[in-house]
Amino acid sequence: MEIIYHITTRKVWDKYSKKRSYRADSLDSEGFIHCSPKDRVRSSAIKFFRGEKKILVLFIDSKKVKSEIIWEDSAGDNFLFPHIYGELNIDAVVEMFEIICNEDGLFIFPEGF
């Protein structure tokens, strides 16, 4: 099992969680759903979710994803990020946790993550 991670808000997740597939806004605007390897989840949260009080981190089993996953250098820094080109089938999400932003504007991740 190879886990990739997707960050979203509770509002967006709740919109799709009872359905068979999930769509992020980026699927319509960019053609894919942004994901991260574990070592880039923190920096992605800071970069793209600043100002949110709570976020969700989805653990996705990439072997279960029905849409194509392409690892791409989207920032031009020779670091590859997994992008899901299509909807994410909900049964590929194997775990999730909520991250809360503290008073200093920093996300508090569980120990070991």
> pLDDT digits over 71-87, tens only?
999 777 788 999 999 99
Is the confidence at residue 17, as pLDDT, over 90? no
pLDDT band for position 89 (cuts 50, 70, 90): very high
Q: Averaged over 13-42, what is the pLDDT?
A: 92
Which amino acid is residue 30, in one-letter code?
Answer: E
User: HSE (CB half, 13 Å, CA atoms) of 80?
Assistant: 7
Q: Which two tokens stand for residue 104?
A: 């200093």
Q: Which two tokens stand for residue 55?
A: 């976020």
Q: What is the DSSP letter of 78?
A: S
The per-type count for the chain, helices as H runs and strands as E runs, is 3, 9
> Maximum CA pair distance of the chain?
39
CA–CA dist 50, 105 (Å, integer): 8
Percent of the chain with pLDDT over 90: 74
Which amino acid is residue 26, in one-letter code?
Answer: S
Q: pLDDT digits over 102-111, tens only? A: 988 889 998 8
Domains of the chain: 3-108 (3.20.170.20)
pLDDT, residue 112, reads 78
Q: How far is CA 4 from CA 40, 47, 89, 96, 101, in A?
A: 10, 18, 14, 11, 22
Query: Which of 6-10, 36-40, 105-109 comes out lowest in average pLDDT?
Result: 105-109
